[in-house]
Amino acid sequence: MTFSGLLIFVLASLCLFSVCSKPIGVHLRNMDSFIRAVQQVEDSNPGLSPLALVRALRRTAGHDDAMTIHFLGSSYNHSDGDILETAILNASSFSFFDKAIHHIVTDQGEERGVVLAQDGTTVALAPLLLGIEAGLKAKMEGKPAAGIFPLTLGRTLGLSFLSLQDFPPSHRLGPNGCWDNMDHPKVFKLRWPATLATDAVVNGGMDGAILGMNLSNLSGSENLQALSMTLKGYYSFILHEGQGLDAVSSHVSPRRREISRSLLEPLDLHSQVMETLALVWKLEKTEWIAMDTGVGKSVKGGLQAFAHKYWDCPQIIPRCQWGAKPYQDTPIPLSLPLRFLYVHHTYEPSSPCLSFPQCSRDMRAMQQFHQEDRGWSDIGYSFVVGSDGYIYEGRGWTYLGRHTRGHNEIGYGVSIIGNYTATMPSRHAMDLLRHRLVRCAVNGGALATDFTLHGHRQVVNYTSCPGDAFFSEIKSWEHFRE
């Protein structure tokens, strides 16, 4: 048996395990499953380079459009002597990867080609892998990276802005969605009609840009990790009690918004998107579209909406993701903007939550206590801050909460999970509230620009909330008033 024949036999034998033993419908659509499938290929082919593997995945998914070829070359146009790559691409067992990577939104609103990450966010694999391939190609050739922004975000954002020119800029992005089952995710349904730049596509684009730039900037003496190790380092990290994200110096997925902003904001994004669109039209021989005088205005408005939605605002884990029960009455709408922000700690749960599963359990426990023990319609807080890098949706921006007696109609109640009587929340968790959530609320019209920030204890005399240590901290925050 030839080496290539043996390799195909080995790859096909993987069907006995998790990659291709059953129809795609039974595969769990999470990042851990995808990484395991990638690692199985690597383990079976010790000589397979990360670039050859990611290029093979692109070929499997059929991502050889004109712009991708312009920057990365055709996935078919490489040496026939590369037996490893050819064998992978020809192995029918890897139909798994085609289904996992190829992005599409069905007429029923199901988004495919996306996976649930360990941190509770949803990521499109195609832009992630294109960014990684661009970074690996630059590293291998010893040249500056070309095409990372156009391939990961630029093309998608530009086309999304233009395809919905008649809609407000904020409606040209998103939406997010909900998984059918958080433990065994198989179907991801969007919450409203899709744009070209769904939240999962933007997440994957940000991650692809971050990892692609990281790889392209490696020095010549630094060895490349296996693709599975690169993905594990970014998505499969563990936070430790007493430190949380404050102690993490590497790039990890909960920090995608702040990291992508630091990498991309210094660029002239308007020019970058316009240049990307010009390239798309040139390659497609539709340059006449550039004559539309409204293109620049649409891109400018779209980028402002993008910066607000994905950079000013923190990632908020929606109720469906943490397993919220339905509201038990009719929600009462708020009259916006509100003029107050009330800061709480949960006290119980008393420990900071450091992972999506832990934070979700805490959210469900608090909702159960508020609904069943206190007889409230829902969890009382407007939002809850975890120490995993995310904010969790309670009653949200538009509905009346039950958090600060006598003041619920005029302010939002935001709590950080933990007891902060003697210790402080993590710096990252406090920054999510102090800077990111506040900026999001003010710029989005939910909170007045001259709002007042109070600790819970200042307006309700029977509580020490948000804890002595935390209250001492917020007294130094902008907008705090005695």
Q: Quick one: average pLDDT of 130-140? A: 97
pLDDT at site 5: 35
pLDDT at site 20: 31
pLDDT at site 82: 52
Instruction: Give yes or no for residue 24 having a pLDDT over 50.
Output: no
What is the per-residue pLDDT across 80-98, written as a single tens digit (0 to 9) for each? 335 555 555 545 446 789 8
447 φ/ψ sector (left φ>0, alpha ψ -120 to 50, else beta): beta
Instruction: Give yes or no for residue 288 having a pLDDT over 90.
Output: no
In angstroms, rounded to a whole number, what is the distance separating the alpha carbons of residues 356 and 322? 8
pLDDT at site 79: 55
Find the range with the poorest average confidence among 135-139, 243-247, 254-258, 373-377: 243-247
Q: What is the mean pLDDT of the chain?
A: 90
Its pTM stands at 0.91
- Residue 105 in contact with residue 111, Cβ under 8 Å? yes
What is the per-residue pLDDT across 304-344, written as a single tens digit (0 to 9) for each? 999 999 999 999 999 999 999 999 999 999 999 999 999 99
What is the per-residue pLDDT across 218-251, written as a single tens digit (0 to 9) for each? 987 778 999 999 999 999 999 988 778 998 989 9
Q: Which token pair is 70?
A: 């312009």
Q: Quick one: average pLDDT of 267-294? A: 90
Residues 6+ apart with CB under 8 A from 42: 48, 53, 226, 227, 228
Instruction: Give yes or no for residue 72 having a pLDDT over 60.
Output: yes
In angstroms, rounded to a whole number, what is the distance separating the alpha carbons of residues 275 and 423? 50
pLDDT at site 125: 98
Give start and end residues of each alpha helix (H) in 394-437: 427-431
pLDDT at site 46: 86
What is the per-residue pLDDT across 404-447, written as a single tens digit (0 to 9) for each? 999 999 999 999 999 999 999 999 999 999 999 999 999 999 99
In the chain, where are the structural domains located? Answer: 3-312, 319-474
Find the range with the poorest average confidence among 45-49, 104-108, 422-426: 45-49
In angstroms, rounded to a whole number, what is the distance separating the alpha carbons of residues 358 and 119? 10
Instruction: Give yes or no for residue 18 having a pLDDT over 60.
Output: no
Q: Quick one: average pLDDT of 96-110? A: 94
Rounded CA Rg of the chain: 24
- Residue 50 in contact with residue 227, Cβ under 8 Å? yes
Residues 6+ apart with CB under 8 A from 318: 176, 178, 191, 393
In the three-class reduction of DSSP (H, G, I as helix; E, B as strand; rest coil), residue 384 is classed as strand
Domain 319-474 has CATH 3.40.80.10: yes
Distance of CA 240 to the CA centre of its chain: 22
Q: Which token pair is 104?
A: 């599409």
Distance of CA 390 to the CA centre of its chain: 10
pLDDT at site 76: 76
In angstroms, rounded to a whole number, what is the distance separating the alpha carbons of residues 298 and 479? 35
Instruction: Give yes or no for residue 141 having a pLDDT over 50.
Output: yes
